[in-house]
Every structure is written in C-alpha cells, then in structure tokens.
C-alpha cells in the first residue's frame, strides 16, 4: 500500500531537514525521521480505524517543538494566515471598528477612506444581517463577525443596518478591500511640542507609519516619546529602521549570533532625521523582542532615557520556515545582543516552557513591578554604556534608567471583577451608543468634552445598578478606593467610542506617571 499524502509530506520534510545538518549528525537525523515515518506508515496501513493523519502529524510537530526553547513553535496550515496578519500590516475586509452590544454588531467607527465609509456606514449603525442572514441576537462572537465581514479583496458583502432615527433597515453593498492594521495606534503633540508615539507591535509598515505620523503632526519636535509598553515585538527590520532614525552613522544597533548562524551586525547608516532630537522610551514587563532591541540600542549609546519597568526578556531570533503543505516552523536560530554585548533573553531550560513562564510570573510575586530594590543582578551581568560608561544590566530584559512602579493603589476585588468580566466596557459601549448624538451636540470636539464633561453620581449609580444585575456589587469601601479610576475610564471610554481611540490614549496619558516623567525628562534637555 502506498503512503498517503500527509505521511509522504511528513517524511519528506524531516528528511529534507536532515540534508541541512553536518555529515556526522545526518545519519542520526535520518534514523529518527525514519522512525516517525514508519510510525505513520503502520498507523495508515494497520490501525483498526481510519486515522486523521494530518491531525496526528500536526500534534507530533507541536510536541517536538515543545522540547526546544520557549519561543520555537509549529504553526498549522489553518493558523498561518492569522499569525502573519498582524506583522504584514493589513487584511481584507470592510474597514470598521465594532463592539458587540446586546448581542448586536454595533459600529464604533469606520476606517477613514475604507470601504464602509465610502458607502455611508456611520458610527452607531447596527448590522443586523449579512448577505440575507440575520446575525443579531444569535450569540455573536468576534470570530463569527470576522468570518462574516472579512474576505478577499474585491468581493462584495450586503449588510442590513439599523440606524437611530431611521424607521426601516438600510441596505449597503460593500466591496471588500485591503484594510491597514496600524502598528502606531496613537500619536499626538503635547503642549510643549513633544511628540508621543505609541507602537503596539513592530510590523512591516511600522517605520513608514512613524514617518507618516511625524509628517501629519506638522511640528518640529522638541522631544519624542516612544511608548513600547505592552509591545510584544515583531519584525527585526522594523526595529532596525526605527533605531536607525536616532543613531549616528556606524553605531551598532544589534547583532545576532547562533550555532549555525554566523554573527551578523546591523549598523546605523546615518540617514536618520531624528538623530539630534531628545528621546524617551517607555517599557514595561510586557515589552519584548523588537521593543527591547530599540530600547537596548538607545540605552547603550546613551542616546535617550528608558523609563518604566524591566522588560520581558525575549532575545531569541526566530526564522519562519515554510513547509510543503502550507504549515510552517517558527524555529529559533540565534540570539539578540545589544551593542554593549548584553544578551536580552531571559534564562531558560529547553523543554521546560511552563517553568520559563512561571519564572517570569515570579518577578511579579517578588515585587519587581513595585520596587526596584527587588531586582538583583549578578556581577557577571554588569555592562557599561558605550559613551558615558553608565552601568546597565544583562541577563534578561532591559532595565530602565528611571524605574516607575506599577500603580495598584486603586485596585479592589470589585474593580478587578468588573474588568475581568468586561462590565465597564459593555456598559459604556451601550451608554455611548445611546448618548452619542447629545454628546456631540453639546461637545463638538474632544477638547471641549475633555475639559467640560464630568461623570455624575447618576452616571455611577447607573453603572453600579448594571453591575448588580450581573451579580457583581462593591463591598464597603471599594468605591472610595476604586471610584476615581472607574470615573476616569467611564469618561475615557466615551471618548474612545464617540471621538477616537487616539483621543482616548491622549486622555488616559494626561495623568500617566511614565508619560509625565518622560515629558519632564525631555523638557530638561531643551536648550
């Protein structure tokens, strides 16, 4: 009996990998490949029932990759597009931001110039049917919405829309198109001509987005804040391009080195337009990979100030290797080093991924997010910056120059529960939808709303009644501790829904300690 196609692919791929190794290890690779291939062959030939060989092979590859470092992985054929999409910087769809309110797809905003805006879809519209299929009140999920609205560029979708003030549903035919996934989701100028840029990931488009944002703001910045908090990384090229903007010609940005990968150095080429502008970088425990490359380069060359908390410590280089059936390996091939020689990667043991992430959680339990003195480095991990000779540390992550502890003074079990269950977001989506018209009439601009709108006690009572209807109520003293934070986000979520996400971040940053400290540091560097 002939081998089935999944088995042939599986064996061929493993044998191909054997050809890439040295002569001494090739026989060992071939032996183990034959073992796996024979196992699949006999399952296909002799097993009692029909087996899903593709599923078996997928699970086998997942298990194999788990025996390596924490960041190597196998990506199945069905998952490959979803994983690449955020880094490629676009997807095909209708171009809306939405919320699921009372099991109904409600439009929060349309992407400027996108397909939905072109046909007249508005914020506040409710999509109740797609291509004649009623979707409202059917247990909608984000995944189902994506299935309905995304599709190949040029394809059409018909949506039925309920609009406030219009009696009958409206029907729109939308032609799907490329929709940008912006990696810089917020940028603005402070009153001191300091530019704030928030990067959520390093995508193929990130460098161009940064230049476009600076051009759109039409200001010669007196300083730049790069906010990498929560940024998990992405493309190495994007990190190099962005770091290059701030460094002088010939300065090393990063180098990589691995067992089978020779050392590769990346240098600044001197073309950066921001070389003489003061810069502050914000990082936290969730800043990783490309975020740490840029932060490390700026810190090592004494080019700017790093503010926040110790970063994640992901300094392993993955190469995505396509397999013949459309799946892929994301295989670690090298380590990142900062210009001073620091290894960014946190320590790990192969095959112990759970322990690796548990150790990262231990940082929080040890109080690292709250007290700089809780972080200890061995003498062997001490390095010096390349211009001023300041002490910096290796051994996992980037330690900031200025430590800002995590603020939990507003936290109560009640506050944690309303966040975990999404109660504040759900309530505010509905609130904003109902009051959108009167809010815009009274406060036509974000600035007017920010300066004049106050969250009333009636607003808070309405929210607490909603929470109670969901079985969540504050205990005595909870609102005294968490009340101000709830009011801030109550107002902020209105801004996000009625005005823009960019305005929301600008409002939230108005009392953010890291942002305020960055502004203070940059002002000190003014002539």
> Could you give the angle at which helices 478-498 and 501-508 cross, rounded to 10 degrees?
150
In a domain, 520, yes or no: no
Judge if 48 and 98 occupy the same domain. no
Judge if 26 and 121 occupy the same domain. no
Extract the runs of DSSP E, i.e. beta strands, from 137-236.
Answer: 156-162, 170-175, 177-180, 184-189, 194-199, 223-227
Most confidently modeled of 145-149, 284-288, 383-387? Answer: 383-387
Judge if 299 and 225 occupy the same domain. yes
Judge if 463 and 326 occupy the same domain. no
Comparing 81 with 468, the larger pLDDT belongs to 468
| Total domains, the chain | 4
Domain boundary among 180, 203, 236: 180
What is the CB-side half-sphere exposure of residue 525 using CA atoms within 13 A?
19
Six-digit token pair at 335?
Answer: 């380590």
Comparing 238 with 37, the larger pLDDT belongs to 238
Judge if 12 and 109 occupy the same domain. no
Active site residues: 289, 300, 314
Residue 421 has pLDDT above 60, yes or no: yes
In a domain, 316, yes or no: yes
Cα 334 to Cα 312: distance, rounded to the nearest angstrom? 18
Domain boundary among 348, 381, 406: 406
In a domain, 522, yes or no: no
Comparing 36 with 101, the larger pLDDT belongs to 36
Q: Mean pLDDT, to the nearest integer, of 421-428? A: 88
In a domain, 442, yes or no: yes
Residue 260 has pLDDT above 90, yes or no: no
In a domain, 368, yes or no: yes
Cα 35 to Cα 29: distance, rounded to the nearest angstrom? 10
Structure confidence at residue 7 as a pLDDT band (50, 70, 90): very low
- Convert the pLDDT of each residue in 329-376 to its tens digit: 989 999 999 999 999 998 888 888 888 877 777 777 777 877 777 777
Residues 6+ positions from 368 with CB-CB distance below 8 Å: 285, 309, 310, 374, 375
- Convert the pLDDT of each residue in 365-405 to its tens digit: 777 877 777 777 777 789 999 999 999 988 889 999 999 99
Judge if 110 and 125 occupy the same domain. yes
Judge if 160 and 295 occupy the same domain. no
Cα 236 to Cα 261: distance, rounded to the nearest angstrom? 16
Is the separation of the CB atoms in 417 and 472 below 8 Å? yes
Q: Mean pLDDT, to the nearest integer, of 422-437? A: 88
Judge if 439 and 504 occupy the same domain. yes
Residue 264 has pLDDT above 90, yes or no: yes
Domain boundary among 14, 33, 66: 66
227, β-bridge pairs:
198, 282
Structure confidence at residue 418 as a pLDDT band (50, 70, 90): very high
What does the mean pLDDT of the chain come to?
Answer: 88
Judge if 286 and 254 occupy the same domain. yes
Q: Hey, what long-range contacts does 118-125 have (CB within 8 A, 24 or more apart)?
A: 119/172, 119/173, 119/174, 120/172, 121/94, 121/96, 121/159, 121/161, 121/172, 121/174, 122/163, 123/436, 123/497, 123/498, 124/163, 124/164, 124/433, 124/436, 125/161, 125/162, 125/163, 125/170
What is the model's pTM?
Answer: 0.82
Residues 6+ positions from 116 with CB-CB distance below 8 Å: 94, 95, 96, 107, 110, 172, 174
Least confident of 84-93, 196-205, 412-421, 512-521: 84-93
- Give the helix ranges, DSSP H, for 234-328: 236-244, 290-300
Judge if 383 and 442 occupy the same domain. no
- The boundaries of the domain holding residue 305 are 184-406
Residue 81 has pLDDT above 80, yes or no: no
Q: How far is CA 29 from CA 121, 270, 511, in A?
A: 57, 46, 58
CATH number at residue 112: 2.30.42.10
Q: Residue 24 has what pLDDT?
A: 57
């Amino acid at each position: 009996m002939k081998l089935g196609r999944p088995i042939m692919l599986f064996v061929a791929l493993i044998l191909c990998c054997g050809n890439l190794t040295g002569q001494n290890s090739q026989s060992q690779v071939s032996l183990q490949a034959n073992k796996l291939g024979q196992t699949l062959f006999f399952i296909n030939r002799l097993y009692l029932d029909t087996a899903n060989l593709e599923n078996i092979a997928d699970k086998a590859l997942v298990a194999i990759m788990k025996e390596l470092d924490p960041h190597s992985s196998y990506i199945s054929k069905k998952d490959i597009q979803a994983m690449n999409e955020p880094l490629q910087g676009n997807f095909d769809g209708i171009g809306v931001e939405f919320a699921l309110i009372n099991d109904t797809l409600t439009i929060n905003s349309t992407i400027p110039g996108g397909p939905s805006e072109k046909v007249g879809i508005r914020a506040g519209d409710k999509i109740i049917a797609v291509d004649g299929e009623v979707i409202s009140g059917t247990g909608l999920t984000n995944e189902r919405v994506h299935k309905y609205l995304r599709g190949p560029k040029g394809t059409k979708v018909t949506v039925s829309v309920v609009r406030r003030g219009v009696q009958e549903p409206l029907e729109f035919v939308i032609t799907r198109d490329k929709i940008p996934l912006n990696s810089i989701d917020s940028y603005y100028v402070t009153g001191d001509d300091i530019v704030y840029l928030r990067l959520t990931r390093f995508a193929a488009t990130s460098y161009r987005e940064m230049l476009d944002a600076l051009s759109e703001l039409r200001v010669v910045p007196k300083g730049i804040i790069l906010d990498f908090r929560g940024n998990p990384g992405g493309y190495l090229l994007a990190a190099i391009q962005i770091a290059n903007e701030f460094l002088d010609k010939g300065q090393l940005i990063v180098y990589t080195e691995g067992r089978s990968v020779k050392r590769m150095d990346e240098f600044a080429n001197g073309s950066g337009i921001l070389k003489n502008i003061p810069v502050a970088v914000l990082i936290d425990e969730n800043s990783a990979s490309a975020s740490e490359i840029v932060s490390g380069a700026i810190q090592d060359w004494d080019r700017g100030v790093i503010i926040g908390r110790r970063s994640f410590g992901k300094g392993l280089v993955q190469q995505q290797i396509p397999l013949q059936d459309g799946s892929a390996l994301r295989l670690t091939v090298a380590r990142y080093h900062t210009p001073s020689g620091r290894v960014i990667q946190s320590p790990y043991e192969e095959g112990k991924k759970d322990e690796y992430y548990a150790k990262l959680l231990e940082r929080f339990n040890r109080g690292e997010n709250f007290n700089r003195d809780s972080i200890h480095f061995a003498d062997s991990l001490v390095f010096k910056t390349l211009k001023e000779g300041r002490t910096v540390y290796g051994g996992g992550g980037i330690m900031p120059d200025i430590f800002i502890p995590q603020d939990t003074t507003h936290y109560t079990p009640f506050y944690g529960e309303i966040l975990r269950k999404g109660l504040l977001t759900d309530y505010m989506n509905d609130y904003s939808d109902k009051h959108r018209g009167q809010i815009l009439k009274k406060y036509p601009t974000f600035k007017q709303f920010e300066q004049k709108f106050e969250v009333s006690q009636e607003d808070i009572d309405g929210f607490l009644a909603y929470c109670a209807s969901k079985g969540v109520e504050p205990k005595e003293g909870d609102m005294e501790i968490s009340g101000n934070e709830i009011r801030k986000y109550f107002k902020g979520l209105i801004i996000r829904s009625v005005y823009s996400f960019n305005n929301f971040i600008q409002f939230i940053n108005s009392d953010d300690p890291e942002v305020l400290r960055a502004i203070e540091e940059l002002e000190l560097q003014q002539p």
